[in-house]
Structures are given as structure tokens and as C-alpha cells.
Amino acid sequence: MLRSQLIHPVISRILAEAGHHATILIADGNYPASSKRGPRSEVVSLNLMPGLVSCNQVLEAILSAIPVDAIQTMMTETSGPYALDGDPPVWAEYKETIRKAGIGVELQPIEKWEFYKQVATDDHVLTVQTGDTQRYANILLSVGVRMF
């Protein structure tokens, strides 16, 4: 029996095979997971219904299983139909989950098209597609190093 919170067998296998600098995308329900991904990545669909499961729930499970060096989010737009004033509420959830996991990294917002480029690299090994309906909930994790 596994000790971490993560018990999904496919996700666990991919994370076990991932090395330093591999990236894991936790995608919201609107993310184009079939087209915006790395050439070697696998997609695991956990989008049961709108709102389930959430990106934050997946983040909590993954942070219980692997070390993380960096966490990037998709920067909010300041104009147009998807614009927000300030940070999206989901980022506060992420910050609390990261704090509880004891990981000393900050969220790094990057521009939308640069975010897609960061995902579509050879280092991208996994996309977990969620049913999260919150705007700007996509989050990209960079696998760290296990310290002994």
C-alpha cells in the first residue's frame, strides 16, 4: 500500500519514471489537452463532470508524491472576455496547498502563449485533465530532486 496521498496507478507510474526537470501539467476543464502537450506526454483524464476533480485536488495528491522545483501558472489576461482584476481565486488555494506540503516554491505566472510553449516540450511527461471550471487554473510543475 502506498503511503502518499496519490494512489492513481497510471499517474504513479508516470511520476516514478519522471526525472529531474520533467514537467507535469494539471489542466483545467477548458485546456486543449489533445493539442497543447509535449510529444512524449501521456494524458490522464480525471474530468468526471464540471468541477470534479479540481486542479487543486490533483496538486495536493501529486505534491504528496514528488519533489517540485518550480510551479508555473498561466498569467491572467487584462482585457477581453477572460480578463480578471487581480489574481484568480484558485491561486490562493494553490498557495495554501503548497504551504501545507512544505514546498518552498512560489507560483510563477507566465504569459498564456509562453505557457503553451513550456508545456509542448520534450520534458513534458504528463497532463492530468481535470473537470475544474475555474479560470486560469492550469498549473505546470517541474519535477525536483529527491534529497537524501
Q: What is the pLDDT of residues 92-131, one digit of tens each?
A: 999 999 999 999 999 999 999 999 999 999 999 999 999 9
CA-closest candidate to residue 107, choices 137, 132, 144, 70: 70
CA angle 18, 74, 33 (to 5 degrees): 55
Q: Model's pTM, two decimal places? A: 0.96
Task: Measure the CA–CA gap between 49 and 129, rounded to whole angstroms.
Answer: 11
Fold of 19-143: RbsD-like fold (3.40.1650)
Task: Measure the CA–CA gap between 72 and 61, rounded to whole angstroms.
Answer: 17
CA-closest candidate to residue 30, choices 141, 136, 140: 136
117: Cα within 13 Å, side-chain hemisphere: 5
85-98 pLDDT tens trace? 899 999 999 999 99
Looking at the chain, the number of H-run helices and the number of E-run strands are 4, 6
**How high is the pLDDT of residue 64?**
96
**How high is the pLDDT of residue 110?**
96
